[in-house]
Amino acid sequence: MMTGCHTVPPFPTVDLKEPGWTVRQGQVIWKRERNAAGVVGEILVATRPDGRAFVQFSKNPFPMLIAQSTRSSWEAEMPIEKRRYSGRGLPPAHLIFLYVPRALAGMSLSRKWSWEKVENNGWRLENRSNGESLEIFFGT
């Protein structure tokens, strides 16, 4: 199991039926680098007013990434790869999915990131440094 530089204890299991969660689900196209073929899957993003967030990227029927964050720490698991990363502060740039809740909340992102609305009520998050991107289309 791999971890970030500043490990934190595992986050508790999330119950999205608890009051206070705002849940968005939809489709996502993930490109690991500029001009790469995209991987299409499902995305679930849940946020709370206290800054907690939960993100899951799945390629049916498997969860590819399950991540959680608070205002001060983060955790990401890749169940298929049997890896877990965690740390304090902002997540590393290679964990692009953890930046989606921040962008949706209107929080400031560094100049390394671009966040914009695209056609068909979608959103695009891109790491300008390496071209990694997500195109997200939430259901209504």
The tens place of each residue's pLDDT in the chain, 140 residues long, gives: 444 445 677 888 899 999 999 999 999 999 998 888 999 999 999 999 999 999 999 998 899 999 999 989 999 999 999 999 999 998 998 899 999 999 999 988 989 999 999 988 899 999 999 999 999 999 86
136: left (phi over 0), alpha (psi -120 to 50) or beta: beta
> H/E element holding 137?
strand 133-138
State the residue for tokens 């902002």: 90
| Tokens linked to 31 | 């490109």
β-partners of residue 126 are 114, 133
Domains in the chain and their CATH numbers? 25-60+91-138 (2.30.29)
- pLDDT for position 1: 42
| Residue of 107, 110, 104 whose CA lies nearest to 28 | 104
- pLDDT for position 70: 93
Cis omega (within 30 of 0) for bond into 49:
no
- pLDDT for position 4: 45
| Residue of 113, 112, 107 whose CA lies nearest to 71 | 107
What count of residues does the chain have?
A: 140
- pLDDT for position 139: 84
Residues 118 and 125: beta-carbon distance below 8 Å: no
- pLDDT for position 96: 95
Report d(CA 73, CA 61) in Å as an integer.
Answer: 28
